[in-house]
Amino acid sequence: MIVPIILYGSSILRKHSFEVTGDDNPVKLAEDLFDTLKKAAGIGLAAPQAGILKRAFVIDTSPFSDDDNLVPKYEQAFINPEIIGLSANKTYYEEGCLSIPGIFEEVFRPKKITVRYFDINFNLIEEDLDGLKARIFQHEYDHLEGILFIDKLSPLKRKMLAGRLNKVMNS
Ligand code: ZN
C-alpha cells in the first residue's frame, strides 16, 4: 500500500521511534515502505517518513542500479537496526531526502559501518556495509532518531537553505 510521505516541518520527523515488537506486523510495514519508496523513485525510506514511529526502514537501490550497472542492486528491510561499528575514514556524498524534496547537499559521514538488524522474519543479521549501502543506512537510521541530513550541514549552509526549507514546510 502506498502511503503519503511526511514532509519537512512535521514534528513527526523529529521524534524518536520505538522498537518493533512481536505485536507489530513487520512484513506489512516493510511492504508499505517498499511500495511507497518505489512510487517515489527513492532509494531509502524510514517508517517515521510514513508517519509510523517504529524503528524500521527499507533500502532499494534499483533507481541507481538501473541507470548505472556498476551499482549492484540491493533491496533490504531493516527492523530494529543498530550501528555497531563506524570507520574512522569519512567521505562526502550528495544526499537528498523524500521528506525534503528538491534539496541535495554533500554530507560527511563514515565510509564503512558494521550493522546489526532483524529482517522481516526476525532473523538477526550482522554485516559490514560500505559505499552507497553504508550511506543510505546511516541516513535512514538518523530518521529513527529524529535527525535529518540537513542537521549535518554547516550553519552557513543551513542558513543559505532556509528559504527553500520554508517553502517545503509550507507546501
Ligand atoms: Zn531521508
Task: With respect to residue 162, please indicate whether it lies within any of the assigned structural domains.
Answer: no
Identify the residue whose cell numbers are 556524498: 93
DSSP state, 6?
P
What is the pLDDT of the chain when averaged over all its residues? 95
pLDDT of residue 26: 95
Q: What is the pLDDT of residues 12-68, one digit of tens each?
A: 999 999 999 989 999 999 999 999 999 999 999 999 999 999 999 999 998 887 666
Mean per-residue pLDDT, 141-167 = 96
Q: How far is the CA of 132 from the centre of ligand 1 (A)?
A: 14
Residue 166 lies in a domain: no
The pLDDT tens digits of the residues spanning 85-98 come to 999 999 999 999 99
Any domain includes 140: yes
- Cα(46) to centroid(ligand 1), Å: 7
Q: Is residue 131 part of a domain?
A: yes
For residue 48, tell me if it sits in a domain.
yes
> Domain for residue 134, yes or no?
yes
Region of residue 103 (left: phi > 0; alpha: psi -120 to 50; beta: else): beta
pLDDT at 72: 79
User: Sorting pLDDT into bands at 50, 70 and 90, what band is 73?
Assistant: confident
Question: Domain containing 140 — which CATH number?
Answer: 3.90.45.10
User: Where does 46-169 have alpha helices with state H?
Assistant: 62-67, 131-144, 155-169
Report, as an integer, the average pLDDT of 140-158: 97
pTM over 0.85: yes
CA of 148 to the centre of ligand 1 (A): 7
Q: How many domains does the chain have?
A: 1
Task: Identify the domain containing residue 127 by its residue range.
Answer: 11-86+111-147
Catalytic site residue 140?
Answer: yes
Instruction: Decide if 104 is inside a domain.
Output: no
Question: Which amino acid does the sequence have at 75?
Answer: E
* Whole-angstrom distance, CA of residue 146 vs CA of residue 52: 12
